[in-house]
């Protein structure tokens, strides 16, 4: 495939409700949507960078600048024979994984469309339905939290994840476990604790949690191995696994017993699948996390989660859990058994509502035949 033209647009799509973690609040999705043209085909991608650098060091602005100045020029006019080449092409640009993702995704989308098969099939996925859960932000009190959990369980979500922070950890976990003794249940700390909190975190061992996600520093792996030696709850890494190499290191030193794979955190599907393959060989369970993506990014997560090693429910909830109206015409709907259908259309499967996309666009960039223009 020859990459003939690339368009970027930064959007703002408000969430139904603000999403609060241990360290920040998000009011909407500020992603960058990429559209790539190649020989009559169109590929879509999404870089779900935040407006502020609270999750990791990237923001919408840094991603925009890296894409415009470095990533787009690398990809433009290239002849790509396999989407795995993109990872190699982007490698000279250090870090900036979220920035790379939209373009990497779009090439995978075109490759699947070229082959006339779904992205899941191209990746080697073997599931038609993927089990999903929901990630619940910090609520104003325990009563509201229990209500929100109950509502999502009634909708059919298979697993509940709550965000925790000091002063809002043991009590909410205890309350949920008491009211819903048999549910699949896990917590996410988004790097708010330190090793000094080990004894406190050990109290979570009493509540049969599937895992605790990223309790310690966002850039730490070693201290997580010290924590994992003392607590029984499986540690799951999110923020600190930014490459297959980090995943290998973390598994080697038993810093985690589960990995949350977000393709956007590791630069795209090629790296994400490598981590999946590595974990499968070592019988380490993985699940697909999310970044509150639009209906475009969501399809890539779903295709990835169709691979056999994704045995735990993902944070790939139905679109209506996030948005009043999404930028796709075919949003994911939750099935009664708490699964989502893996898209079957050729490519990623998102049918983009381009007229609506235009109305939520904050800025645009396009390459033309000669040179790059804004
Ligand atoms: O830590 O997993 C996280 C959302 C934004 C940034 C980081 C995280 C999250 C979530 C929600 O937990 C995942 C989703 O529903 O997409
Ligand atoms: Mg997380």
Pick the ligand that lies closest to the CA of residue 58: 1
* CATH number, domain with residue 102: 3.30.390.10
Pick the ligand that lies closest to the CA of residue 135: 1
**Residues 188, 307: one domain?**
yes
**Residues 318, 361: one domain?**
no
Q: Helices 244-252 and 269-281: crossing angle, nearest 10°?
A: 20
Other CB atoms within 10 Å distance of the CB of residue 181: 10
CB-based contacts of 140-145 (< 8 A; 24+ apart in sequence): 142/171, 142/172, 142/175, 145/172, 145/175, 145/176
Mean pLDDT, to the nearest integer, of 28-54? 97
pLDDT at residue number 368: 77
**Residues 159, 308: one domain?**
yes
Q: Per the domain annotation, does 349 fall within a domain? A: no
- Residue 199: pLDDT over 60: yes
Catalytic one among 163, 178, 203, 282? 163
262 is catalytic: yes
Q: Per the domain annotation, does 347 fall within a domain? A: no
**Residues 241, 362: one domain?**
no
The reply to whether ligand 1 has any atom less than 6 angstroms from the CB of 238 is: yes
Instruction: Tell me 224's DSSP state.
Output: H
68 Cα distance to chain centroid: 23
Query: pTM score > 0.85 for this model?
Result: yes
**What percentage of the chain reaches a pLDDT higher than 90?**
98
Phi-psi region of 40 (alpha: psi -120 to 50; beta: other; left: phi over 0): left
Q: Per the domain annotation, does 367 fall within a domain? A: yes
Burial classification of residue 203, based on how many CB atoms lie within 10 Å of its CB (0-12 exposed, 13-18 middle, 19 or more buried): middle
pLDDT at residue number 373: 54
**Residues 285, 164: one domain?**
yes
Report the atom number in ligand 1 closest to the C-alpha of 262.
2
CA separation (Å) from 24 to 50, 51, 177, 210, 325? 11, 11, 26, 24, 24
State the residue for tokens 């470095």: 70
- Residue 339: pLDDT over 60: yes
Mean pLDDT, to the nearest integer, of 139-158? 97
Mutation test residue for ligand 1: of 23, 133, 135, the one with most atoms within 8 Å of CB:
135
**Residues 167, 256: one domain?**
yes
CA of 214 to the centre of ligand 2 (A): 6
CA of 175 to the centre of ligand 1 (A): 22
**Residues 218, 358: one domain?**
no
Mutation test residue for ligand 1: of 152, 212, 292, 323, the one with most atoms within 8 Å of CB:
292
Averaged confidence pLDDT in the chain:
97
How many domains does the chain divide into? 2
163 is catalytic: yes
**Residue nearest ligand 1's atom 12 by CA:** 135
**Residues 252, 331: one domain?**
yes
**Residues 332, 365: one domain?**
no
**Residues 103, 196: one domain?**
no
Mean pLDDT, to the nearest integer, of 54-59? 97
**Residues 125, 110: one domain?**
no
Q: Which domain holds residue 151?
A: 121-341
Report the atom number in ligand 1 closest to the C-alpha of 163.
12
**Residues 93, 176: one domain?**
no
Instruction: Tell me 60's DSSP state.
Output: H
CB 57 within 8 A of CB 42: no
């Amino acid at each position: 495939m020859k990459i003939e033209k690339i368009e970027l647009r930064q959007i703002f799509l408000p969430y139904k409700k603000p999403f609060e973690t241990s360290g920040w609040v998000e009011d909407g999705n500020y992603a960058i949507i990429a559209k790539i043209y190649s020989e009559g085909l169109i590929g879509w991608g999404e870089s779900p960078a935040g407006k502020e650098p609270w999750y990791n060091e990237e923001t919408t602005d840094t991603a925009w600048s890296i894409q415009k100045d470095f990533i787009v020029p690398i990809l433009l006019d290239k002849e790509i024979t396999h989407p795995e080449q993109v990872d190699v092409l982007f490698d000279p640009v250090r870090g900036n994984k979220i920035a790379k993702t939209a373009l990497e995704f779009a090439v995978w989308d075109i490759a699947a469309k070229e082959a006339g098969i779904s992205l899941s099939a191209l990746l080697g996925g073997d599931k038609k339905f993927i089990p999903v859960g929901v990630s619940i932000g910090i609520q104003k009190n325990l009563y509201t939290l229990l209500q929100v959990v109950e509502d999502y369980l009634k909708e059919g979500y298979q697993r509940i994840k709550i965000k925790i922070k000091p002063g809002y950890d043991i009590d909410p976990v205890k309350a949920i476990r008491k009211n819903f003794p048999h549910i699949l249940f896990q917590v996410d700390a988004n790097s708010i604790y330190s090793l000094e909190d080990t004894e406190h975190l050990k109290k979570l061992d009493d509540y049969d949690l599937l895992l605790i996600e990223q309790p310690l520093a966002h850039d730490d792996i070693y201290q997580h191995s010290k924590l994992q030696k003392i607590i029984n709850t499986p540690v799951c890494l999110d923020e600190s696994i930014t490459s297959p190499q980090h995943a290998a290191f973390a598994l080697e030193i038993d810093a985690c017993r589960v990995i949350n794979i977000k393709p956007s955190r590791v630069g795209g599907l090629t790296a994400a699948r490598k981590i999946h393959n590595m974990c499968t060989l070592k019988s380490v369970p993985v699940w697909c996390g999310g970044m509150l993506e639009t209906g475009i990014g969501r399809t890539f997560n779903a295709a990835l989660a169709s691979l056999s090693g994704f045995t735990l429910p993902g944070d790939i909830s139905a679109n209506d859990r996030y948005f009043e109206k999404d930028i796709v015409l075919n949003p994911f709907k939750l099935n009664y058994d708490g699964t989502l259908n893996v898209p079957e259309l050729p490519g990623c499967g998102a049918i983009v509502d381009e007229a609506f996309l235009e109305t939520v666009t904050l800025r645009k960039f396009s390459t033309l035949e000669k040179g790059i223009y804004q």
